[in-house]
Amino acid sequence: MQSEESNRVTPSLPRLVFSRLLGAVPEIKPAYDRMYNEHRTSLALWSETDYEDFRKIARFHGTPEDVVLDALQYPRTNLVFENILLPFIIGLTSEPGKSQRLVQVMAWIEELAADEEFGVRNLVGTGFCEPLITNQEHHAASIIPLMGKATRQIGREVMRMFKVSEQTQRLLEAQ
C-alpha cells in the first residue's frame, strides 16, 4: 500500500525540476533544449482525443487535470536525468580539471535527494541512481563515492530491485 506522501502531487514538478537543473548545471542546456523541442514537436501531433485520455487518467488517479496537462508540456524528467544529466556527470569523471565541477553537481543531486517532495526524491532514484547502477554500472565506482548520505540511501533502495555487482553493493553500503 502506498503512503499518503507518495500519493501527493507536486504541481509542475517538471517545471520546478528543470528550472533548478538548468540553474545548477547550465552546461546541459543545449542538450535539454534539443530534447524539449523534439518533445514539443511530438505533442503537436496529438489530437484532442489523446489529451482527453490523459484527462481521464488524471481523474482516475485524483490528480488535478491542470497538473497533468502542464507536465505533458515537458520531456519526462527521469529521461532528462538519465539521458542528459547522467552522461554529463560521467563525462566529468574522465575530464582532467573537472573534479571540482563534479563535486558541485553531486552536491546538487544530494540536495534533490534530501528534498521534502517525494516526486523530487523519486526522480533521483529513477533518473539517476537506477540508470547508474544498471545501465552505467561500469561508471559507478567513480560516482558513488561522491554521493551524499541521502543519495546513497536512495541508491541502496534502488539496488534492492536489481542485480548489481558486489563492488557496487559495497560502494553503496559504505558510509
The pLDDT score that the predictor gives to residue 166 is: 93
CB 152: neighbour CB atoms within 10 A?
22
pLDDT in tens, 72-113: 788 888 889 999 999 999 999 999 889 999 999 999 999 999
CB 55: neighbour CB atoms within 10 A?
14
Listed by start position, the domains of the chain span: 4-173
- The answer to whether 156 touches 137, Cβ cutoff 8 Å, is no
Rounded CA-CA distance 173/175 in Å is 6
The pLDDT score that the predictor gives to residue 9 is: 45
What angle, rounded to 10 degrees, do the helices at 13-24 and 29-43 form? 150
- pTM: predicted TM-score of the whole model, two decimal places: 0.82
* 53, three cell numbers: 485520455
Q: Please name the residue that has the C-alpha cell 517532495.
A: 117
pLDDT in tens, 4-48: 444 444 456 787 788 899 999 999 999 999 999 998 888 888 888
Three-state secondary structure string covering 129-161: HHHHHCCCHHHHHHHHHHCCHHHHHHHHHHHCC
Tell me the DSSP string of 86-128.
Answer: HHHHHHHHTSTT-HHHHHHHHHHHHHHHT-SSHHHHHHIIIII
Q: What are the φ and ψ backbone dihedral angles of 73, each rounded to 5 degrees?
A: -75, -10
The pLDDT score that the predictor gives to residue 12 is: 62
The pLDDT score that the predictor gives to residue 16 is: 77
**Which of 47-51, 92-96, 147-151 has the lowest average pLDDT?**
47-51
The pLDDT score that the predictor gives to residue 68 is: 75
